[in-house]
Amino acid sequence: MVIKEAKFLMSNTRVEQCPAPDKPEYAFIGRSNVGKSSLINMLTEQKGLAKTSAQPGKTQLINHFLINDTWYLVDLPGYGYAKVSKGSRQDWRRMINYYFQKRENLACVFVLIDSRHEPLKQDLEFIENLGEQGVPFVLVFTKADKQSSVKTDSTIAAYKRTLRQTWDELPRIFVTSSEKRLGRDELLNFIDEVNMQVQQQ
């Protein structure tokens, strides 16, 4: 896939105010500071499309971007930021779960995981939650350039072992590096595949 145009559409906290559900939608989410904005900017080849920040928890809204006038890319608020109040975390959980349940054109959720860390409770709980809701998703391991490929492979193997305890079928897995542009073609080709499947339905 060649991305010819990527433009910001809107930010909000209400699913009802999202763009009309007339195009396939791909949502990106992960723990705070997982490198989500950098990955989105790398995929779209626009440095400032998604706002990056040294301060975790920057994204607090559902941010919609229109890609090639044919599909939506959605930047969702990160989870697991310690300095957010318990009430804010509950609000976030309600907003995100409502989005997953009500957004009928949601084609896939990209769950971003920092490849430098062994399986974390917050990531595993979030993955389980998606499974319980029947939301289609893939796992995207980020920051692979920050360590050896052996360490990245070890992290992925640990996640697979943990997930096999409760999952019959494992989700598709991608390895990325925003700095090295690793995984860009694989992710965009996957989106292309799903878009074609949606068109055929």
Q: Which two tokens stand for residue 151?
A: 């360490």
Of 158, 156, 194, the closest CA to residue 27 belongs to 194
The residue type found at 24 is P
Q: Does residue 54 register a pLDDT over 50? A: no
Mean pLDDT over 71-77 rounds to: 94
pLDDT band at 78 (very low <50, low <70, confident <90, very high): confident
pLDDT in tens, 4-41: 999 999 998 889 999 999 999 999 999 988 999 999 99
Q: Does residue 84 register a pLDDT over 70? A: no
- CATH match of 6-200 with 3.40.50.300: yes
Cα(21)–Cα(23) distance, integer angstroms: 6
* pTM (two decimals): 0.93
8 A C-beta contact, residue 57 and residue 32: yes
**DSSP at 172:** P
